Amino acid sequence: MTSSGRKDLGGHRPPRHLTLTALLLPMVVACSGAPAPSPAPDPVPPHWLPPIYAAVYDTAEVGGEITAAQGRLIARCMREAGFTYPDLDPAEIGAPDRPRPFGLESLEQPVAAGESPIAEQPGRVDQRYVRALYDDEDGCQTQADVRLLGERQSLRSWSETRVGLYKAEVEAKNLLWRHPDFAELNARWAACMKRSGFTFRDPSQVLDGLPPKATFRAEPSARADVACKDRTGYLRSAYTGLARAQRHALAGSPDLLPTWKALLRRQCDTARQILARPAAEASSPCPAA
């Protein structure tokens, strides 16, 4: 479970066709004409993040550059095909939606993401528009992805690498959930919750029990959950264990993270060219090669 999307990514299979935008998981306030809302400070410091989370989800600025460039390429391609497609302002792109496998991490409300341009079209969607945008071989999105990665083979490698990271993510989560230290951590948290008047096995049950549109600060169980996590050092211990489990899961495929980072760098460099960013700009967000 996650506090932002109610479902944890580790509990579901990834889509068969993984686009660059979906893989980077940016949050887009689509067609709003306003900057993306500023998210609340992340209660989990970057150095706590497990290696897969750090590489895939802690990429807000990089993902924003790539998504903005992709949107520009798609808009140009769709116009050439006779359709309208809104240009995406980089200011409308928010942070990636990092998984939160341990339920609530704070009482701050998540910021809702906007709809995609195609989802916002009123009435029946023109199938010619869908084909022009999403066709696997010649669709504007595929063309944009190939341009960002340099060649079609790299697009295949990118998708395969993300699937590999996803599998390692799921394996690591299963390893952690079976570990005695994690069971003991949940027991300490549950004892704290019981002293507050609540009976739960683990934090995911708290989130499962909240109403769909709950205001976290107004829910006694949510307040007790976050307080007990603070008292027991839950998040630090849980993320430390998850990081160890992810490193173990990645040991069998040592090329996954280096390949991901290299392909991410390639997209970022190309995106900055498309967006006419200065090549030698000292503040370039692109990851080191």
Assess contact for 250 and 256: CB atoms under 8 A.
yes
Question: Could you tell me if residue 122 is inside a domain?
Answer: yes
Question: Could you tell me if residue 240 is inside a domain?
Answer: no
Alpha-carbon span 63 to 264, nearest angstrom: 9
Q: Which of 144, 164, 162, 146 is CA-nearest to residue 154?
A: 146
pLDDT of residue 92: 62
Plot region of 267 (φ>0 → left; ψ -120 to 50 → alpha; else → beta): alpha
Q: Which of 59-63, 116-120, 234-238 has the lowest mean pLDDT?
A: 116-120
**Residue carrying the six token digits 């993270």:** 257
pLDDT digits (tens, 9 = 90+) for 148-181: 999 889 989 999 999 999 999 999 999 999 999 9
pLDDT digits (tens, 9 = 90+) for 75-85: 999 999 999 88
Alpha-carbon span 288 to 159, nearest angstrom: 21
Q: Which of 18-22, 112-116, 125-129, 177-181 has the lowest mean pLDDT?
A: 18-22
In terms of residue numbers, what domain contains 145? 1-100+112-150+267-289
Q: Which of 148-157, 218-227, 244-253 has the lowest mean pLDDT?
A: 148-157
Question: Could you tell me if residue 196 is inside a domain?
Answer: no
Question: Could you tell me if residue 244 is inside a domain?
Answer: no
**Residue carrying the six token digits 């410091």:** 45
pLDDT digits (tens, 9 = 90+) for 42-59: 667 778 899 999 998 877
Q: Sign of the CA dihedral 139, 140, 145, 150?
A: positive
pLDDT of residue 95: 55
Question: Could you tell me if residue 164 is inside a domain?
Answer: no
Question: Could you tell me if residue 4 is inside a domain?
Answer: yes
Plot region of 233 (φ>0 → left; ψ -120 to 50 → alpha; else → beta): left
Assess contact for 162 and 55: CB atoms under 8 A.
no
Alpha-carbon span 135 to 1, nearest angstrom: 32
Please give the C-alpha separations between residue 90 and each of 31, 60, 61, 67, 95, in angstroms, as whole numbers: 12, 11, 10, 8, 11
Q: Which of 27, 35, 50, 61 is CA-nearest to residue 268?
A: 61
Question: Could you tell me if residue 21 is inside a domain?
Answer: yes
Question: Could you tell me if residue 220 is inside a domain?
Answer: no
pLDDT of residue 21: 44
Residue 134: exposed, middle, or buried by beta-carbon count in 10 A (0-12, 13-18, 19+)? middle
Alpha-carbon span 7 to 58, nearest angstrom: 19
Tell me if the pTM is above 0.85.
no
Q: Which of 267, 151, 275, 155 is CA-nearest to residue 286?
A: 267
